[in-house]
A = this chain, B = another copy of it.
Amino acid sequence: MIRVAVIGYGNIGKSAVEALFQAPDMELAGVVRRKESLKDELPSELAGIPVVSDIKELSNVDVALLATPTRSVPSLAKSILALGINTVDGYDVHKSLADLRLELDQVGKQHGVVAIISAGWDPGTDSMIRAIMELMAPKGITYTNFGPGMSMGHTVAVKAISGVADALSITIPVGTGLHRRLVYVKLAEGADAAVVEQMIKEDPYFINDETHVYVVDDVQELVDVGHGVEIERKGVSGSTHNQLFKWEMRINNPALTAQVMVAAARASMKQQPGAYTMIQVPIIDFLPGDENEIIRRLV
């Protein structure tokens, strides 16, 4: 059994624990939470599971799933790799993940362990789909259309705006990689709705998109963690144009992200030391079971 520790117990961490309980080849080594959270009553689903504030308190951990905010991933991954433990993260900053991989690749090789980075759905499985579309039709354009669903990044950006007590930003795909933003805000005491709306629309996260702002009394009753994506490519195979490809999904966001991380934890056990994005790992390595049986069933 592959022994996996879950670092962080928010939405993703909780879903990762659920996915580990279902995995036939893995066991939960323990959950690592902040010291403050350890004072709270233990959630019933963690009865009998070691819950600690430092991964060093857990024994024989093969892989750590970093279910922590993305900004904490680079330093946390390095420190865990240095302990001789594989890491899997859902690092989601597209523009810097290639550089993070190069950094973790060095650390992984130095300590004889493996990091699989950006193992979520975008970056992650969507990246695999985009790469497969490109091998099938090397010339052409791929559009990734997100939504409908809640955008974490955009929601955080709105919450940081002065006068906003609570917020939710929904992404609506309008096709060909363009998006509409629906922003629901609860105003802080005395805040001016028109001013808040203006600040949201001028924020770098929103300035290039069609953005609608709605003031509501309670943001939380609107929250639904379902999300969607549609990836389209029209391209050229050889000298043949008009090859059409489409990937579509409608999913519970934290459940899918956590499941992908768990699959990546499995794959990490089969790679040479270093750091990898999902497109650098054979797909079969993410699946449990005998190689020949998988080939017979799926190929």
Contacts and interface: CB of A to CB of B under 8 A. Distances in A.
Interface of A: 15-16, 18-19, 21-23, 94-95, 97-98, 101-102, 118, 121, 123, 125, 127-132, 134-139, 236-240, 242-252, 255-256, 258-260, 262-263, 277-284, 286-288, 291-292, 294-296, 298-299
A245 B255 contact: no
Given A239-B22, A248-B245, A279 B259 contact: no
Leading 7 A-B pairs by shortest Cβ distance: A240-B255, A19-B238, A237-B259, A18-B238, A135-B286, A127-B299, A135-B263
Given A19-B238, A22-B138, A98 B277 contact: no
B237 A135 contact: no
27 contacts: A15-B238, A15-B240, A19-B237, A22-B138, A22-B236, A22-B238, A23-B138, A97-B295, A97-B299, A98-B292, A98-B296, A118-B299, A128-B128, A131-B286, A131-B287, A136-B260, A137-B256, A138-B259, A138-B288, A237-B251, A237-B258, A245-B251, A246-B248, A277-B299, A279-B283, A279-B284, A281-B282
Q: Say whether chain A's binding surface is mostly helix, strand, loop, or mixed.
A: helix
Given A125-B132, A136-B259, A252 B240 contact: yes
Most buried by B among A131, A236, A260, A278: A131
Contact of A247 (B19, B246, B287): B246
A287 B139 CA distance: 12
A108 to B, nearest CB: 16
Contacts of A263: 135-136
A251 B294 CA distance: 27
A102 B132 CA distance: 25
A127 to B, nearest CB: 4
Contacts of A137: 256, 259
A294 B246 CA distance: 21
A25 to B, nearest CB: 11
Contact of A125 (B136, B139, B236, B249): B136
Nearest to A260: B136
Nearest to A14: B238
Contacts of A125: 132, 135-136
